């Protein structure tokens, strides 16, 4: 036997998505199919599931199981100071275009376990802007937000983070911002004071505030083009004039109508500015 | 031009060179999009895209999320993202966990393409240092796609190709030089036709035999190409001698059809150069020329290294037949070359293994020697002594030891059958048994020790009876000094002992029976006991000494000579005796090989 478990194709994926929607209300219809297929397949291989019915019985049995399944299929990988050069550019923008905003309002959409938000808080602190900032950090997934709130991470990746941080043209040492407790890296509570963590579903929830910076990196890649455009419109509507929109390094506005309404601020690191 | 299908290439260490060399040669009319997944550091990704982009005639993109596979563009997967695809050819990036320690992972992309494209996908695995790609390639194959792996011999790092070959059993294993042939072939065939060609049992080598036609006139190239097109080989064209040489160095053609009269460099010159270079000297050349009928020209052509000389315009049937002949010859030479290089590889392997064995033997010797007491150690028990120990190989079958129990000192000298590794193993077993008997059971009297040893030995080998030789075993001499009573006791299996007592040299006879698995279980060794005085000396030795060939007539050294020698110097200081013994043995041996381990212990009471 080559494959013991069931093989997921587009058809099966569609059925699973419907089942999730009927069962939990979460709407994955417009997610990018190949990613979902891969995540479904991974889960099914992991649990040695041999039919859709078996899967539905498993995840339908209790809400806990459904949540666990949804958490399994959304990708939460993240890093501190990922793409260090991106953060370098943000530093520059903070000192120029964004310097006078008070309060400076920032939205991290799809913040996952928070590494990206803490990275932002650190550079705000260094530019002495943190106390005047309000950061909204949102994600669809409550359990990653719980981790984000704690600001405690495994020691395993800290060397990579230190290096990223240095490459972002840092002025300090990253270890100025954390302590190691019980084998974990714990970020100073001071960084967290201005961050509001909350669930927000980009698919179904709408504009809830106006922002000077919206950071949404490596989230749109999980959506199909149509959903990307809807969400990009939401971002556009949530930006103050001259506000910044930052996407992941391989994402773009190219296919979106709001492309006309934004100026490219940095092409390589995917930062746009809303026309004033 | 566009056809259904996609080529997905995955590689790691050593694959960038392959790509860099391949891309410039992919023809502009190549009908499929190509996706390239390389393991690389995300930091140098921009350079890579630039380098590759400049190299090729086709358009090269670094993948952005939701780009669509189109035409014959080349798509490079960005660092730190996995690449997935849907059935419409929409490329999706994915930032999830690394797979096989890699992001991008080749397995991930292959899997996704297998699902989305099925049989319309061709997966290629290049050089690399881990097994990423192997499972994915298998997935492509199961989904009906074509699979190709760079031959391990032609890979800078063969781990990845080897894994892919073992796990996926690909349709083709291709020498890196032949890749371009595959891409050329694909220009004219759909993936399906390509597969049927393979399935028709045409070996890949056949399909991809390639012919270079050289002529400065494009019209001639065109006609020739049209003439040969339907044949089962790939045709490359060159419109000058220089171009022909460049291409021949890179592509190892199986035949070159060469025009004679060309500007700059004529065909004769080209043939001469080709026949002088290692890369090209085996390629059969056929001249094709308007001068075909002139006798001197034909001879000159052959002198320059060509196989044949045809007149223009050639008779199509004749030309094809001659090309076939060339392809046959080329196939043979290439096979021979492969065999030759595998012989060289085997030879290298063997010498590497030899070196390994030598190294572990050296290590084993250190262990063995650490188990044998040093000469100095004897000094704490005796006034004077020497140990002359010369194993035949780096480890040996001779051993000795000394043990102290209250007022008794037990001196043991043994010789296991065999030398080298088997001998050394036996010495370990023997020493182990002796230690147990003396330290554990407190047996000190020589005959009792040997009796017990005989039993232990049988036990140790009881289960191994079939696998050891019947008489594999040990010969051993034991003497125990009773220091309080100034007595000495001897017992021995096959090893005579020399006892220099006052001014007499007494030869203590051994029981003529070796300790081995065949010996009767309840054999009792005989015990001899003597008074011993200060100044008396004991000599224990193994048969390596007396059995050694040498002297003027190639005789054994013999017991008699040893007795005489020891008699002659037994009054001298022990260390002097050692040097004399050593010298005598060396002179005796002369040019003869040492036939066994040599061990002599001398002790002055
Ligand atoms: C790969 S992470 C990106 C983390 C971080 N921005 C980075 O680039 O390192 C993607 C995150 O998007 C979240 N996400 C997925 N669908 C979402 C939705 N509909 N609304 C909000 N967040 C979503 C996931 O839970 C996950 O935490």
Q: Measuring from atom 3 of ligand 1, which residue has the nearest CA? A: A218
pLDDT digits (tens, 9 = 90+) for A54-73: 999 999 888 889 999 999 89
Distances (CA, A) of B498 to B417, B591, B601: 22, 28, 10
Does B1 have pLDDT greater than 50? Answer: no
Share the mean pLDDT of chain B: 85
Do both B281 and B309 map to the same domain?
Answer: yes
Substitution candidate for ligand 1 out of B95, B96, B98 with most atoms within 8 A of CB? B95
Which of the two residues, B28 and A52, has the higher pLDDT score? A52
- What mean pLDDT is predicted for residues B176-197? 83
Task: Please name the residue of chain A whose CA is at the shortest distance from the CA of residue B111.
Answer: A38
Run of H or E including B431: helix B420-435
Share the mean pLDDT of chain A: 92
> Which of these three, B199, B222, B247, is where a domain ends?
B199
Do both A176 and A240 map to the same domain?
Answer: yes
Domain span at residue B177?
6-199
Run of H or E including A192: helix A189-192
Which of the two residues, B361 and B450, has the higher pLDDT score? B450
* Dist. CA B135–CA A185, nearest whole Å: 37
Helices (H), ranges, B512-595: 543-547, 558-569, 574-589
Do both B572 and B479 map to the same domain?
Answer: yes
Residue A154 is predicted with a pLDDT of: 92
The C-alpha of B86 sits at a distance from chain A's nearest C-alpha, in angstroms, of 6
Do both A64 and A107 map to the same domain?
Answer: no
pLDDT digits (tens, 9 = 90+) for B121-172: 999 999 998 899 999 999 999 999 999 999 888 888 889 999 998 888 888 8
pLDDT digits (tens, 9 = 90+) for B357-370: 777 777 777 777 77
Do both B160 and B55 map to the same domain?
Answer: yes
User: A152 pLDDT band (50/70/90 cuts)?
Assistant: very high
Do both A115 and A234 map to the same domain?
Answer: yes
Run of H or E including B234: strand B234-238
Rounded distance from Cα A84 to ligand 1 centre (Å): 19
Q: What is the CATH number of the domain that holds B534?
A: 3.60.40.10
ipTM, interface predicted TM-score of the complex: 0.91
Domain span at residue A49?
10-73
- Eight-state DSSP code of residue B315: P
Do both B194 and B224 map to the same domain?
Answer: no
Substitution candidate for ligand 1 out of A35, A86, A139 with most atoms within 8 A of CB? A139
Residue A20 is predicted with a pLDDT of: 94
Q: Is residue A200 part of a domain?
A: yes
Instruction: Give strand ranges (E) for B316-443.
Output: 384-390, 398-405, 408-416
Q: What is the CATH number of the domain that holds B254?
A: 3.40.50.2300
Q: Is residue B346 part of a domain?
A: no
- Conformation bin of residue B8: beta by default, left when phi > 0, alpha when psi is -120 to 50: beta
Residue owning tokens 């003869």: B592
Q: What is the CATH number of the domain that holds A197?
A: 3.40.50.150
Residue B108 is predicted with a pLDDT of: 97
Distances (CA, A) of A3 to A16, A36, A49, B135, B191: 20, 19, 11, 12, 25
Rounded distance from Cα A207 to ligand 1 centre (Å): 17
Do both A41 and A91 map to the same domain?
Answer: no
Q: Largest Cα–Cα distance of chain A, in whole Å?
A: 66
User: B112 pLDDT band (50/70/90 cuts)?
Assistant: very high
| Closest to B120 in 3D by CA, of B64, B182, B69, B191 | B191
Nearest to B92 among A39, A77, A221 (CB): A221
Per the structure, the count of domains in chain B is 3
Task: Check B63 against A250: CB less than 8 A apart.
Answer: yes
Do both B243 and B154 map to the same domain?
Answer: no
Do both B511 and B420 map to the same domain?
Answer: yes
Do both A60 and A121 map to the same domain?
Answer: no
Rounded distance from Cα A220 to ligand 1 centre (Å): 8
Run of H or E including A272: strand A271-274
- Conformation bin of residue A90: beta by default, left when phi > 0, alpha when psi is -120 to 50: alpha
The C-alpha of B519 sits at a distance from chain A's nearest C-alpha, in angstroms, of 57
Lining residues, ligand 1, CB within 6 Å: A 74-79, 82, 110-112, 116, 139-141, 144, 201-203, 217-219, 222, 248; B 95
Q: Is residue B342 part of a domain?
A: no
Task: Check A75 against B95: CB less than 8 A apart.
Answer: yes
Most A CBs within 10 A among B47, B93, B144, hence the mutation to make, goes to: B93
Q: What amino acid positions of B are annotated as catalytic residues?
A: 12, 39, 132
pLDDT digits (tens, 9 = 90+) for B488-546: 999 999 899 999 988 888 999 888 888 876 677 778 899 999 999 888 999 999 888 88
A:B CB pairs within 8 Å: 67
What the block records as the tokens of B267 is 């065909």
Task: Check A75 against B87: CB less than 8 A apart.
Answer: no
Residue B232 is predicted with a pLDDT of: 67
| Closest to B539 in 3D by CA, of B512, B514, B574 | B574
Do both A69 and A90 map to the same domain?
Answer: no
CB hemisphere CA count around A22 (13 angstroms): 9
From the DSSP assignment, how many helices (H) and strands (E) are in chain B? 19, 27
Per the structure, the count of domains in chain A is 2
Task: Check A38 against B94: CB less than 8 A apart.
Answer: yes
Q: Is residue B430 part of a domain?
A: yes
pTM surpassing 0.90?
A: no
Do both B323 and B381 map to the same domain?
Answer: no
């Amino acid at each position: 036997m080559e494959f013991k478990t069931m093989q997921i194709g587009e058809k099966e994926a569609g059925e699973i998505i419907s089942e999730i929607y009927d069962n939990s209300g979460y709407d994955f219809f417009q997610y990018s199919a190949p990613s979902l297929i891969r995540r479904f397949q991974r889960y099914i291989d992991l649990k040695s599931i041999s039919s859709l019915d078996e899967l539905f019985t498993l995840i339908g049995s209790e809400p806990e199981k459904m949540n666990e399944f949804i958490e399994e299929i959304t990708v939460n990988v993240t890093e501190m100071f990922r793409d260090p050069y991106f953060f370098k550019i943000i530093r520059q923008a903070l000192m120029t275009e964004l310097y006078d905003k008070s309060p400076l309002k920032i939205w991290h959409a799809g913040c996952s376990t928070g590494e990206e938000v803490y990275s932002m808080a650190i550079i705000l602190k260094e530019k002495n802007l943190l106390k005047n900032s309000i950061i909204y950090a949102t994600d669809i997934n409550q359990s990653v937000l719980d981790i984000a709130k704690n600001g405690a991470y495994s020691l395993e990746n800290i060397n990579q983070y230190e290096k990223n941080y240095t490459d972002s043209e840092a002025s300090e040492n990253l270890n100025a911002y954390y302590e190691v407790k019980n084998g974990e890296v714990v970020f100073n509570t001071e960084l967290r004071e201005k961050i509001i963590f909350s669930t927000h579903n980009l698919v179904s929830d709408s504009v809830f505030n106006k922002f000077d910076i919206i950071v949404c990196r490596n989230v749109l890649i999980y959506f199909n083009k149509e959903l990307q455009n809807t969400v990009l419109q939401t971002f556009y509507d949530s930006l103050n004039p001259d506000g910044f929109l930052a996407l992941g390094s391989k994402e773009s506005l190219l296919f979106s109508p709001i492309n006309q309404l934004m100026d490219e601020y940095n092409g390589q690191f995917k930062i746009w500015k809303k026309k004033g | 031009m566009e056809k259904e299908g996609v080529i997905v290439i995955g590689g790691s260490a050593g694959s960038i060179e392959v790509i860099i060399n391949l891309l410039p040669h992919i023809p502009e009319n190549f009908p499929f999009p190509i996706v390239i997944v390389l393991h690389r550091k995300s930091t140098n990704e921009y350079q890579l895209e630039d380098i590759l982009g400049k190299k090729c005639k086709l358009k090269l993109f670094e993948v952005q999320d939701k780009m669509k596979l189109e035409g014959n563009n080349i798509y490079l997967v960005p660092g730190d993202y996995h690449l997935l695809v849907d059935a419409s050819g929409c490329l999706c990036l994915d930032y999830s966990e690394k797979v096989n320690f890699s992001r991008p992972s080749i397995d991930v992309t292959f899997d996704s393409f297998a699902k989305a494209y099925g049989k319309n996908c061709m997966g290629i695995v290049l050089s690399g240092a881990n097994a990423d790609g192997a499972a994915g390639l298998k997935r492509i194959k199961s989904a009906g796609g074509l699979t190709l792996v760079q031959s391990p011999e032609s890979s800078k790092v063969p781990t990845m190709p080897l894994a892919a070959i073992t796990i996926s059993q690909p349709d083709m294993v291709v020498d890196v030089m032949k890749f371009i042939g595959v891409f050329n072939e694909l220009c004219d065939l759909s993936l399906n036709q390509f597969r049927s060609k393979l399935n028709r049992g045409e070996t890949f080598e056949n399909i991809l035999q390639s012919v270079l036609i050289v002529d400065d006139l494009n019209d001639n190239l065109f006609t020739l190409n049209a003439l040969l097109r339907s044949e089962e080989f790939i045709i490359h064209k060159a419109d000058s001698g220089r171009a022909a040489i460049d291409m021949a160095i890179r592509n190892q053609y199986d035949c070159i059809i060469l025009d004679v009269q060309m500007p700059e460099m004529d065909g004769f010159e080209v043939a001469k150069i080709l026949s002088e270079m290692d890369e090209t000297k085996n390629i059969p050349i056929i001249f094709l020329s308007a001068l075909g009928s002139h006798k001197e020209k034909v001879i000159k052509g052959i002198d320059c290294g060509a196989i044949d000389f045809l007149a223009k315009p050639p008779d199509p049937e004749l030309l094809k037949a001659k090309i076939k002949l060339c392809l046959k010859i080329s196939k043979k030479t290439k096979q021979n070359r492969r065999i030759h290089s595998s012989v060289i590889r085997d030879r290298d392997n063997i010498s590497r293994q030899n070196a390994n064995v030598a190294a572990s033997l050296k290590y084993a010797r250190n262990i063995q020697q650490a188990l044998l007491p040093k000469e100095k150690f004897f000094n704490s028990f005796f006034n004077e002594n020497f140990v002359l120990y010369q194993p035949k190989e780096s480890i040996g079958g001779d051993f000795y030891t000394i043990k102290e129990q209250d007022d008794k000192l037990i001196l043991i000298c043994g010789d296991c059958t065999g030398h080298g590794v088997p001998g050394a193993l036996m010495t370990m077993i023997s020493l182990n048994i002796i230690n147990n008997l003396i330290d554990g059971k407190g047996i000190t009297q020589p005959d009792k020790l040997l009796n017990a040893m005989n039993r232990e030995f049988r036990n140790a080998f009881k289960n191994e009876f079939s696998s050891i030789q019947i008489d594999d075993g040990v010969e051993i001499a034991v003497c125990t000094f009773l220091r309080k009573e100034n007595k000495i006791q001897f017992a021995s299996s096959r090893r005579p002992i020399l006892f220099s007592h006052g001014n007499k040299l007494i030869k203590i006879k051994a029981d003529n029976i070796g300790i081995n698995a065949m010996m009767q279980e309840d054999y009792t060794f005989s015990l001899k006991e003597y008074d011993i005085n200060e100044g008396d000396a004991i000599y224990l030795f193994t048969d390596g000494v007396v059995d050694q060939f040498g002297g003027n007539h190639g005789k054994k050294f013999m017991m008699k000579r040893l007795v005489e020698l020891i008699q002659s110097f037994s009054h001298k200081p022990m260390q002097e005796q050692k040097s004399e013994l050593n010298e005598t043995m060396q002179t005796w041996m002369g040019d003869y090989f040492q036939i066994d381990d040599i061990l002599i212990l001398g002790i002055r009471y």
